[in-house]
Structure 1
Amino acid sequence: MLRNLSVVAKRSNSTAATLLKTPLYDCHLQYGGKMVPYAGFEMPVLYKGQSHIESHNWVRNKCGLFDVSHMLQHKFTGSEAAALLQKITPIDLSKLPINSSSLTVLLNKNGGIIDDCIITKHGEQDYYMVTNAGCREKDTAFIKQEISDFGGNINHNTFEGTLLAIQGPKAKEILQKFTNENLNEVVFGQSKYLDLSSIINSQIHLARSGYTGEDGFELSIPSDNSVQAKEAQDFFNILINEYPEVVKPIGLAARDSLRLEAGMCLYGHELTEELTPVEASLAWLIPKSRRVEESNPFNGSSKILQQLADRTTFTHQRVGFLSKGPSPRDNNKILDKEGNEIGYITSGSPSPTLGGNVAQGYIKRGLHKSGTEIDIEIRGKKRPGVVAKMPFVPNNFYRG
């Protein structure tokens, strides 16, 4: 797993002297975080006294805290904001209820994925979006250019702060201790602004979501100055110190294996600008209302809708794999039983929950059905595997 994360870290051109730090950086050092370069930030991969497997299993059974403050937060307002977002993504914001969110993708002119993102609708002219840290320069340049080309009444701002993911089956039980809001009324995909006891003196944005497949929340905590940053740190510390039998800080290693078991994509691995949502098995992100190009065009819609209508127009598709032995890693070749190359791995990991390995990759259509036996070439040797449905571990999202 550490090897796999080091590949991701190499995508950043930052040196140790230029790495950014999140508002929770000192907390990571306090709890023995092993810090590594990740998407231009210095981030914890593991914490002292925890193995990767222990961290992973803790989140599956209790409650883990993930610092995801390296993600970039955006605000779009104005009468043309929705129209702009519906040009650069395939989302249908008219179908999204107020204070609800949806996964979607930023698309280039050819339908390739610039980044995946979460868009939350706070009002008909008010939208909140979170994008990946490693794509922040590319994303902001793309959005700026699209707004310039589009014109109209659109205001776009990005902002930094503390983003804290509280994940696991005990997440709601713990967070409920700090608010008078009934969290049972906030289901997966919904959000709201609320107060967190007297610890944080400004409202935080709470979303019931996450990147682990478990129930949980992501909290956007204002950290515009040292006082607010200290409040976020105090809240992080209180969660850990007052509930040590339930809550632990968790690093990047477990975050990656958890999202893999949940069948979730990692940008730069499963998603790139050369791949469309259809090839990435994300066609479900394109609602029926956006599949009539004449009335609802979006970037790359001609190509994407053609792929939806005729699957023979593309050659490879994202699928999951199970295997034994050494874990598959990105760029390992996928072979059929005759030894012909038929695809490639995009990411893989030992599975603490299932045993064996889980992986994702792209395979030739026609060979993408679950149960298809394949070989994965790892360090010059063929290792048997099988195409498998995702998620590998059932999701436990709270839906009321």
Structure 2
Amino acid sequence: MINAQQSGRQADLIPVGDEPIQPTGIIVCITGGAAVKQTPLFDLHLRLGAKMTEFAGYRMPLHYPAGIIREHLHCRSRAGLFDISHMGQCRIVGARAAQALETLTPGGLAGLPPGRQKYTVLLNLQGGVIDDIIVTRVATGLAVVVNAGCKDKDYAYLRQALPEDCEFSEQNDLALLALQGPEATSILGTLAPEVAQLPFMHGCQAQIAGIPCRISRSGYTGEDGFEISLAAGDAQGLATLLLQQDGVAPIGLGARDTLRLEAGLCLYGHELGETVSPVEAGLSWLFPAGRADFPGSEIILAHLRRGPPRRRVGLSIEGKLPVREGAPLFNGETQIGAVSSGGYSPSLARPIAMALVETEFAAPGTRLTAQVRDQCVAVSVCKLPFVPHRYRR
């Protein structure tokens, strides 16, 4: 879950200063007159030679010296460590926390057992998406992870929308790491044996080298793997320990985006947004049968019954020219959609893309034309994902 309006393509920032930064929480620096936040792993990224960029208000690693393609392929073949501490972590505490949050989403939260996670969306009254989030049932209520670029609006919305008997709190003293790839389980299992048997979208409390962590089997790459929430002050120590394990390499935002694109996963601001319904985005499975009392229900239920006016699809690109976000798609002379995400696939060694197109043109095999600057590129609709998921079901 990366906020696409902060897509990592902003102008890179030059690291400032050589003084080590103490990982005691989110750190703020001033660059060009604007406050830019740093995660607790900022100093580690510089020592690892990361190329830093401003992303969703944070200085984050775009890639390390190996480069995006090698980082991507390493994650697909071994294990990659990601700093995702820019994501927002918050808690909703109270006996009715799950029921209260459920009223703002498609549903399925009230019956969530302890330790279970659910991917869902916050809905607006127009049938669009405020944000896509991960919700975990914990002893006191719910732990929620939101997109970095949506934190402020999400937190304000939740404070306003939740009832008084639910206590909402930001958890700015936490960091978040992701260990992803086919070797992630064997590596993390040597340090915390209890995680090896976790099913996908389940979590537990564990200690790694004496560091208390909340670990879930989840991620944003299509690979098996884990996300680790822990105190900000422990983040550099744990990240250093994980990077010392055979098979683990640091991975930046560039490869995180190419990995999720290959996996056909939605990116907020691209495939999801305030004017895109979850049904258009291919998330109809979020809605339990028979429920009709969620925000934007009139529009969304119509999409579920009769089909949406447009759909998210994969695109197979003919030739080597990448077709990127915003490229218009045509059937003959008529524009019928636009690319929502696109780029080079390191795993497939060719360009790929996702798009929102009019439903009439969403069937696999449909041939279309993309306009890339002054060139017309032949594309065809294909099924998602481009690379099969390898979650542990």
TM-score of the aligned structures, taking structure 2 as reference length: 0.90
Q: In the alignment, which residue of structure 2 is the partner of 1:212?
A: 221
User: Does residue 66 of structure 2 align to residue 45 of structure 1?
Assistant: no
Change over 3 Å in CA distance of 1:9–1:20 after alignment to 2: farther
> SS of the residue aligned with 1:302?
helix
Aligned-pair CA distance for 1:9: 5.3
Contact 1:9 1:39 in 2 (8 A): no
Aligned-pair CA distance for 1:37: 0.3
User: Does residue 175 of structure 2 align to residue 179 of structure 1?
Assistant: no
Alignment of 1:244-263 (within 5 A): 246-263=247-264
User: Does residue 117 of structure 2 align to residue 101 of structure 1?
Assistant: yes
1:201-238: CA deviation from partner (whole Å, max 9, x where unpaired):
xx210000000000000000112xxxxx2x32122112
Q: In the alignment, which residue of structure 2 is the partner of 1:135?
A: 150
In structure 2, C-alpha distance between the alignment counterparts of 1:6 and 1:302, rounded to whole Å: 31
Q: In the alignment, which residue of structure 1 is the partner of 2:27?
A: none
Aligned residues: 369
User: Does residue 73 of structure 2 align to residue 57 of structure 1?
Assistant: yes
User: Does residue 301 of structure 2 align to residue 305 of structure 1?
Assistant: yes
Runs of 4+ in 1 over 6 A off after TM superposition: none
Q: Which has the higher strand share?
A: 2
In structure 2, C-alpha distance between the alignment counterparts of 1:64 and 1:79, rounded to whole Å: 37
Aligned-pair CA distance for 1:185: 1.8
Q: In the alignment, which residue of structure 2 is the partner of 1:331?
A: 326
Aligned-pair CA distance for 1:7: 4.8
Aligned-pair CA distance for 1:82: 1.8
In structure 2, C-alpha distance between the alignment counterparts of 1:110 and 1:241, rounded to whole Å: 48
In structure 2, C-alpha distance between the alignment counterparts of 1:248 and 1:8, rounded to whole Å: 20
TM-score of the aligned structures, taking structure 1 as reference length: 0.88
Q: In the alignment, which residue of structure 1 is the partner of 2:270?
A: 269
Aligned-pair CA distance for 1:242: 4.2
1:19 corresponds to which of 31, 36, 49: 36
Contact 1:169 1:216 in 2 (8 A): yes
Alignment of 1:232-381 (within 5 A): 232-243=235-246, 246-288=247-289, 291-293=290-292, 297-311=293-307, 314-323=308-317, 324-336=319-331, 338-381=332-375
Where in structure 2 are there 5+ consecutive unaligned residues?
A: 12-29
> SS of the residue aligned with 2:274?
coil
1:27-84: CA deviation from partner (whole Å, max 9, x where unpaired):
1001001000000000000102x12111100000001000000000011111332222
Report the AA paired with residue 254 of structure 1.
A
Contact 1:66 1:165 in 2 (8 A): yes
> SS of the residue aligned with 1:94?
coil
> SS of the residue aligned with 1:74?
strand
Contact 1:80 1:152 in 2 (8 A): no
1:318-337: CA deviation from partner (whole Å, max 9, x where unpaired):
1111103211111100111x
* Aligned CA-pair RMSD: 1.8
In structure 2, C-alpha distance between the alignment counterparts of 1:6 and 1:32, rounded to whole Å: 23
Report the AA paired with residue 211 of structure 1.
Y
Q: In the alignment, which residue of structure 1 is the partner of 2:160?
A: 145
1:66-117: CA deviation from partner (whole Å, max 9, x where unpaired):
0000000011111332222111111212342221111100111222101000
Q: In the alignment, which residue of structure 2 is the partner of 1:226?
A: none
1:235-261: CA deviation from partner (whole Å, max 9, x where unpaired):
211222342xx1110001100000000
Q: In the alignment, which residue of structure 1 is the partner of 2:19?
A: none
Q: Which has the higher helix share?
A: 1
Change over 3 Å in CA distance of 1:207–1:95 after alignment to 2: same
Q: In the alignment, which residue of structure 2 is the partner of 1:34?
A: 51
Aligned-pair CA distance for 1:286: 1.0
In structure 2, C-alpha distance between the alignment counterparts of 1:53 and 1:44, rounded to whole Å: 15
Q: In the alignment, which residue of structure 2 is the partner of 1:90?
A: 106
In structure 1, C-alpha distance between the alignment counterparts of 2:183 and 2:341, rounded to whole Å: 28
